[in-house]
Amino acid sequence: MPEAESTTSTASGNPMELLREMVSFLLAKRVLSADDVRRVLKLQGRIDRRFGSLAVLKGYVSPHDIIYILYKQLDSDVKAGDVAVRHKLMTPAQVKEVLLLQTNPARLFLEILIRTRTILASNLQLAMREFYKQKAAAGKVPAGHLMDVQDLIKPTRQSRLDADSLKFQLKRLRELAALPGVVHRVLGLLQNPHVEMQEVAQVIEGDPGLSIRLLRLANSAFFGLSSKVGTVHKALITLGVKNVQKTIITASVLEKFNAIGQQEAGDFWRHALLTSRWTHRLLELRNFRGELLDDGVMAGLLHDTGKLAIWQYFPEANAEIKGLVKSGAPTEEAEREVLGMPHAEIGAFLFQLWNFPAGLLQAACYHHASTAVLGGLKDMTPLTACVNAACRIAHLPVIARPEADGGDEGGEMLDASSLDQEFLAFHGVNADALVMAAPQVMSEAEEMLSSFLSQAPAT
């Protein structure tokens, strides 16, 4: 941050006045254009000014770190910054900087200028030195080209929830979405590489509903076993530890969110299965094999779990979100405005509560992230990247295949024309290769859908 200390030491009683003077100076010196200023100020108005969002903006933590901080805050009055320091996610100096960004609009304006690369940090630093030198000498910087800063920076699509309100919502979600104790016991047993399957089977059989759902899933097209299994113990032996864990997690999510309407459930699992199969295919294209492919299947399947939570547990908020989207608001912005978090982060929070594998949490958290955000993650995994790409590909439209393509008349093909070069280069995929792979991927997903939906209770 250029001349960071000065933005606090010279600020008078009105923080917006300092920003107004600063903008006027940068315009007068032609360091910035009026269009630059308007664009950055409007962006500043859209930024979520809660601690976690600003800490992510600074690059001090990742969004999934904020999920962990929120989780740790649920049963205490400790502030987010103190939790971050206690768990060595941030330093005290970094916490102080974030708190200053919350209260000082001029400081946040400078941060956005740098983060958006509107101006080189070195050039901005030189300009700010001159600004504060003039201000110190005259007490006020002469206004050359005044802009209506207050109107331009007016917040839009901000979350309505303060930290306490968000904590209340997350506590409510924790109570509503708690998994049965048997699920946690089974997942805990499966962490032991020497566990006996008979012991695991006995725990599962203590819950008839979980037993039935596990057997249905094990015998579905989702796993594609060569022969049917009739007992829990036989299912565990046939599937193996890794697939048992996957089955238990999937079964528990199906059971937890069994009050979703049939239309929404159908749309949800169709996209989930398509994303799951695309994740598997993209990992194969990157020459990954073995356990990671199984992880990809599950991460793709469950990436949108946060949507299920919104639909089932927050119906009034869901209706309001739909109204905002219908009026033109992006889905994630509408979710953040109404609930304080988008569905991706809600899903990640649930996975944190349920102590699901870290790979699932990260994949859920970033499945809508831009390539810029993904590229900035210090610990991004191939799984996270592939789920992110698969989710977008799964949303692509299917169009009639031109006869010149050699396809049968009336055939269909994936329309990958909307995938930009930045996306394709970042994920290392080729649009033509995706179009070629699409028929098999879509066929696999559709084959699984009918058997998968049969697992859900009628509503």
Q: Are residues 299 and 352 in the same domain?
A: yes
Each residue's pLDDT, cut to its tens digit, for the chain (459 residues) gives: 444 444 444 444 577 888 888 888 899 888 899 999 988 888 888 777 889 889 988 889 998 999 999 999 988 889 999 999 999 999 999 999 999 998 888 889 998 888 888 888 888 888 888 888 887 776 654 444 334 444 444 444 445 566 777 888 889 899 888 888 899 899 889 888 888 889 999 999 998 888 888 888 888 777 777 778 889 999 888 888 888 888 888 888 888 887 888 888 889 999 999 999 999 999 999 999 888 888 999 999 999 999 999 999 999 999 999 999 999 989 998 998 899 899 999 999 999 999 888 999 999 999 999 888 888 887 889 999 999 999 999 999 988 877 655 555 557 889 999 999 999 999 999 999 999 999 999 999 988 887 666 655 444
Q: Are residues 359 and 307 in the same domain?
A: yes
Q: Are residues 344 and 282 in the same domain?
A: yes
The predicted pLDDT at position 312 comes to 92
| Whole-number Å distance between alpha carbons of 446 and 452 | 10
Q: Are residues 366 and 413 in the same domain?
A: yes
Number of domains in the chain: 3
Amino acid making up residue 336: R
Q: Are residues 357 and 438 in the same domain?
A: yes
Question: Where is the domain boundary, 256, 274, 305?
Answer: 256
| Whole-number Å distance between alpha carbons of 407 and 398 | 14
Q: Answer whether residue 278 is part of any domain.
A: yes
263 φψ region: left (φ > 0), alpha (ψ -120 to 50), beta (else): alpha
The predicted pLDDT at position 451 comes to 64
Question: Where is the domain boundary, 237, 256, 275?
Answer: 256
Q: Answer whether residue 151 is part of any domain.
A: no
The predicted pLDDT at position 141 comes to 47
Q: Are residues 100 and 197 in the same domain?
A: no
The predicted pLDDT at position 14 comes to 74
Reading the block at residue 70, the tokens are 């929120």
Q: Answer whether residue 443 is part of any domain.
A: yes
What does pTM read for this prediction?
0.82
Q: Are residues 270 and 338 in the same domain?
A: yes
Q: Are residues 301 and 381 in the same domain?
A: yes
Q: Answer whether residue 147 is part of any domain.
A: no
Q: Are residues 243 and 262 in the same domain?
A: no
Q: Answer whether residue 65 is part of any domain.
A: yes
pLDDT single digits (tens) 116-151: 888 888 888 888 888 888 877 766 544 443 344 444
SS3 content of the chain, % helix, strand, coil (to 5): 65, 0, 30
Q: Are residues 193 and 90 in the same domain?
A: no
The predicted pLDDT at position 334 comes to 92
Q: Are residues 234 and 289 in the same domain?
A: no
| CATH number of residue 225's parent domain | 1.10.3210.10
Question: Where is the domain boundary, 98, 115, 142?
Answer: 142
Q: Answer whether residue 263 is part of any domain.
A: yes
H-assigned helices in 146-231: 149-152, 163-176, 181-190, 197-205, 208-218
Q: Are residues 239 and 199 in the same domain?
A: yes
Q: Helices 315-326 & 305-313, crossing angle to 10 degrees? A: 110
The predicted pLDDT at position 2 comes to 46
Please name the residues in contact with 89: beta carbons below 8 A apart, sequence gap of 6 or more.
60, 61, 65, 68, 69, 83
For residue 441, the surrounding DSSP H or E stretch is: helix 431-453
Domain of residue 337 covers 258-453
Q: Answer whether residue 153 is part of any domain.
A: no
| Whole-number Å distance between alpha carbons of 338 and 1 | 32
